Amino acid sequence: MKKITTRARRSIKVINKTSEMQKISKKIRRRNISIGFVPTMGALHKGHISLIDIARKHSQFVVVSIFVNPTQFGPKEDFSNYPRTFNKDLDCLFEKKVDIVFAPTINEIYPEEYGTYIDIPDFSNKLCGKSRPTHFKGVCTIVAKLFNIVSPDIAVFGEKDAQQVIILKKMVKDLNFPVKIITGKIIREPSGLAMSSRNKYLTDKQKQNASIIYKTLKETEKKINNGERNIQNLKKFIRNGLLTKMDHPATAENELKIDYIEIINKDNLQQPKTLKGECLIAIAVWCGKTRLIDNITVNFNH
Ligand code: PAF
């Protein structure tokens, strides 16, 4: 990446105030210019960049938000340690010619008297919601607020957070948000490890061991294409792959601990009775103290 001067960094428009962002969005929309929106928590990587490229392709004016949303972190989670790389993020958004960066303070989003939350319990208590019971309530609430502040025509989310995408599509439909959700494919390291801001927490050995997640998902896809249709056999195959095929012997620091392995219907997050059509294989594992998620879509009609 080119070295960017503080002056150039300052020339990117950063809005901190909700009222100002709303005023700008209103003005843009009055001129019939379409707004594309990429909500982020910063610590940007190539996955985010790919979402910005998609937003650019589908809209004329691109807004990226940077806000580490406290309500989606549980009390024992990594809110205070979550990587914050604001200046570096601005360099990258400047290079991508993003039109506006919306970076509100916590108080701007959740003033003291704040009291409204959005929850979709049937969807948010499954998969990641089992170990992160308040996570999706926080995600729905912040995304709904950001949609009301930015008024985008389209919003782009990464497919790595598959459950998040499914829940947000439901929220948009249920609450009639005039926003089209577009998704971007998972961007991976050469090893196959899905890119994530939380990969910054991993040591090199942990990264190598965690690359078994995607390799196992691909091996599972092969097994399905060869005819395996038994859910329990498939889950056992994945479990075995994750726990026994790592590059480095499992130590307290390097071992993978499985949070969940699920094969689910993409519309309702339920495990289907019989495997047919498109399903999602979703995995969450702990690698040391870092929780990693990944998924692939498989087609059982092949
Ligand atoms: O996917 C994320 O980074 C966050 O969950 C989001 C959508 C920006 C909401 O805080």
For ligand 1, atom 9, which residue shows the shortest CA distance? 139
Co-location of 77 and 105 in the same domain: yes
Distance from residue 206's CA to the centre of ligand 1 (Å): 24
Give residue 232's pLDDT band: very low, low, confident or very high (50, 70, 90).
Answer: very high
| Last-in-domain residue among 184, 210, 245 | 184
Q: Could you tell me if 208 and 127 lie in one domain?
A: no
Q: Which residue among the candidates 45, 48, 58, 248 is catalytic per the annotation?
A: 48
Which of 68, 72, 186, 195, when mutated, tests ligand 1's pocket best, judged by the most ligand atoms within 8 Å of its CB?
72
Q: Name the CA dihedral angle for 205, 206, 209, 212, rounded to a multiple of 10 degrees.
A: -140
CA 19, 22, 25 angle in degrees (round to 5)?
150
Specify the pLDDT at position 108.
98
Closest ligand 1 atom to the C-alpha of 168? 7
Cα 150 to ligand 1 centre (Å)? 15
**What one-letter code names the amino acid at 121?**
P
pLDDT of residue 297: 97
Give residue 7's pLDDT: 57
CA distance 167 to 79: 22
**Residues 103-151: pLDDT tens digits?**
999 999 999 999 999 999 999 999 999 999 999 999 999 999 999 999 9
In a domain, 191, yes or no: no
Range of the domain at 67: 2-184
Whether residue 33 is found in the same domain as residue 179: yes
On the CB side of 261, CA atoms within 13 Å amount to: 21
On whether both 214 and 173 belong to a single domain, the answer is no
Backbone region of residue 73 per phi and psi (left: phi > 0; alpha: psi in -120 to 50; beta: other values): beta
The 3-state secondary structure of the chain reads CCCCCHHHHHCCCEECCHHHHHHHHHHHHHCCCCEEEEEECCCCCHHHHHHHHHHHHHCCEEEEEECCCHHHCCCCCCCCCCCCCHHHHHHHHHHCCCCEEECCCHHHHCCCCCCCCCCCHHHHCCCHHHHCCCHHHHHHHHHHHHHHHHCCCEEEEECCCHHHHHHHHHHHHHCCCCCEEEEECCCECCCCCECCHHHHHCCHHHHHHHCHHHHHHHHHHHHHHCCCCCHHHHHHHHHHHHHHCCCCCCCCCCCEEEEEEEEEECCCCCCCCCCCCEEEEEEEEEECCEEEEEEEEEECCC
Same domain, 146 and 17: yes
pLDDT band at 245 (very low <50, low <70, confident <90, very high): confident
Together in a domain, 173 and 206: no
What is the tally of structural domains in the chain? 2
171 C-alpha to center of ligand 1: Å? Answer: 14
Active site residue 48: yes
Q: How far is the CA of 238 from the centre of ligand 1 (A)?
A: 28
Q: What is the dihedral of CA 189, 193, 199, 205, to 10 degrees?
A: -100
- Atom 2 in ligand 1: which residue has the minimum CA distance? 40
Cross-strand partners of 160: none
pTM: 0.95
pLDDT band of residue 254 (cuts 50, 70, 90) is confident
Distance 41 CA to ligand 1 centre (A): 6
Residue 189 lies in a domain: no
Report which ligand 1 atom has the smallest distance to the Cα of 146: 9
Of 153, 184, 215, the residue that ends a domain is 184
Ligand 1 centroid–CA 34 distance in Å is 22
For 94-105, write each residue's pLDDT tens digit.
999 999 999 999
Ligand 1 proximal residues by C-beta, below 6 Å: 39-41, 69, 72, 139, 142-143, 161, 164
- pLDDT of residue 175 exceeding 60, the answer is yes
Best probe residue, ligand 1, of 101, 164, 181 (max atoms within 8 Å of C-beta): 164
Residue 3 has pLDDT above 70, yes or no: no
Does residue 192 belong to any structural domain of this protein?
A: no
The alpha-carbon radius of gyration of the chain (Å, integer) is 20
User: Do 29 and 166 have their domain in common?
Assistant: yes
CA-based nearest residue to 39, from 157, 140, 124, 183: 157
CATH number of the domain at 223, please.
Answer: 3.30.1300.10
Task: Report which ligand 1 atom has the smallest distance to the Cα of 158.
Answer: 1
Residues 191-221: tens digit of each pLDDT: 999 999 999 999 999 999 999 999 999 999 9
**What is the rounded distance in angstroms from the CA atom of residue 163 to the CA atom of residue 267?**
10
Is there a domain that residue 83 lies in?
A: yes
Whether residue 189 is predicted with pLDDT greater than 80 in this model: the reply is: yes
If asked whether residues 204 and 288 sit together in one domain, one would say yes
The tens digit of pLDDT for each residue in 36-72 reads 999 999 999 999 999 999 999 999 999 999 999 999 9
Q: What is the CATH classification number for the domain harbouring 152?
A: 3.40.50.620
In this structure, the residue with its CA closest to atom 5 of ligand 1 is: 139
Contact 123, 133 (CB under 8 A): no
- Among 49, 161, 171, 291, the mutation site with the greatest number of ligand 1 atoms within 8 A of its Cβ is 161
What residue owns the CA closest to ligand 1's atom 8? 40
